[in-house]
Structure 1
Amino acid sequence: MIKEALQYIVGLGNLEVHYENGQSYSTQPLHLLKEPTTNPIEVRSLSGLVEYLTSEFDTESQLMVHVSSPTEVVAFSTLNLNKNRNEYIRATALLPSFSFDRFYDAEDFNIKLQSAFVKNEDRDIMLKVVGNIREENVKTVGDDGVSQAVQAKVGVATVATVQVPNPVILKPYRTFVEVDQPESDFIFRMQNGPRAALFEADGGAWKLQAMRNIKDYLNAALEQEIVEGKVIVIA
């Protein structure tokens, strides 16, 4: 087939082809003309991705939807002749800002807890502790190297030593808002100031759970397209 293709090209211009030791050589450089590929549409939600796929706006016999991370999903086609794919749409989660492993002052930490975390029991306990601190010093209590205590308001006019909860189970916004946010363990630490910080303590297991949640959401939202063989969802 290579010989036939080269012979056709020779007929179009001043190109000479030589055959030696079973291989083909040309007197001019040859460049591969690649098939064009698409630039993906960028959206910030799973619902936008689902709306695009169900609209069948761009006709394609079958698309694969890949949950590549807790914050990114991409839909692409099969390989073309050049072994490249057309990426049709990419969804990237829009998330509130929160830096783990960083100490915030009490006021900023209080605001972050309310704006970047789903309400649950441990979050509310932390809000009460951080929001009612009455002095700057943070004490270490016990002999386990973990427990801490602060002076906090515990009643209308009562101040007492309150133990800082640790570890805590929280649900920060770390994936698309359309799916359930994974719950995981965090180490809650405080410093004089007072300042507070959260440290992730689940080894990244939340990422796998988030990706499963996204896949479950897409399987339900694209059920008809999956049954018809138009869409395949992987994570």
Structure 2
Amino acid sequence: MGARFLFPNLFVNQDTPSNTVPTPTKTATPSKQSSVNQANAWQKLLGSTSAPSNWQVIPCATEATLLCVTSQGKDLGTVEVIIYALKDNPNFQKHLIEVGISGSSAADLQNPQFQNKLTNALQAWVADSYSRFTKDHQTKYANNSAFSTYPLQQVTVGKLPGMRYGFVRLKPDGGIQEQYIGYVTSDATQLYVITTSFNSSLSKGKFDNLANLAIFQPYLSAIAENLNLPTK
């Protein structure tokens, strides 16, 4: 199956318009009538945002962890962010210790050596996630559908080193059955996990239409790159 899994947004119907790398724009200020949830984590995280023409990207009003993607009043999908304190994610904390990062010492986030260590810890965390994804798939579907994790992509999330990762599951007769896309980064005090998906078992962070998710992927990459991280 090889190169078929190199880039998630290659899985687009040939009739779907291709997208160039989007140019971020300033986040729109909600009107007074808009019921934006001020407690939503995206309120502080969002820097510049970008979206296809006539699409809107804004923190959801009803959920404190969701970013809502809409078009002309229609809900298209959501992106979830989960922020873990290190004590709540002992697995990642273990990987930090393995690379020589201690929570007891101040993190020099701009130091290249520190960033390399942090990148190694993030890679190890994703490797654990891939092992779990693969095991879950084997338990649920055995050999009834093709499954592959994406090659890790090193990215920047805000001003922090990060990883883009995910997986795809194919229908027995061809076509995508399930897709999962994630970004992960850390400031060595908290772990930030940003996810969205298509046709997954997740209750949050998902798109109902695969084409819409494919169109949005490059814009999500630009949004992740421009997040306000590390937080002030």
TM interval, short-chain normalised: under 0.3
TM, length-normalised to structure 2: 0.23
Larger Rg: 1
